[in-house]
Structure 1
């Protein structure tokens, strides 16, 4: 809902419905902020829409996934596995079942902690600040109306 048709065309991608993507994906990777609209977006109903044997990856924010719904899907074999770099509570409690679940690969919120990743983020931040202060619209702005 935040990307225009023009922005999608610039990247040669097709906009589609989230539920359609969920139903078709073998690997569903979440990369959105935690907002009122996205918190709990991967609930029991959405996870049920996923392909049997699919994988759910969350490198964004813990509250995007309802933990009990994910645990149920993993325990029943609905999902083959999950990759989690984030948890609802960080660090996860010692008794958090997702932390030690045999079908979960968990990392301690370090997905962007590579030298190359940090250098790219720093460069992109500087480029966008310079663009803004030179009067240009920074690239990748999905809500340019807030700049006016």
Structure 2
């Protein structure tokens, strides 16, 4: 606080800038929480993202890659501990592409590595949407269709 005259006080420009910086940092940390609640999170993508992150933590503990096994014609996945997981709100995965190669048979496998990378995969759902992974981010999104 800086005294201008006998009774007047004012903030310096530096003090105002510091307060603005603190408020800005606070807003930046809260924005993703507000956005995800207002926009909504897709249940399939959220479920697969959480499964990938959980298996990544497990692969770090074991120090080796973890395999998630999926089955065409169903929404079921098997994690490392052979527990059956079901992707919510879909009937089946019609097709799977792993690391740009078309999978053969009814089974497909996605590897999660301890160094924070997963296989690239594309899962074609029964409604025609395609979930694709972003390996370096270890997250998923819907693949944009070419029009």
Q: TM-score range by the shorter chain?
A: under 0.3
TM-score, normalised by the number of residues in structure 2: 0.22
TM-score, normalised by the number of residues in structure 1: 0.22
The structure with more radius of gyration: 2
Give the number of the structure whose residues are more often strand, by fraction: 2
Give the number of the structure whose residues are more often helix, by fraction: 1
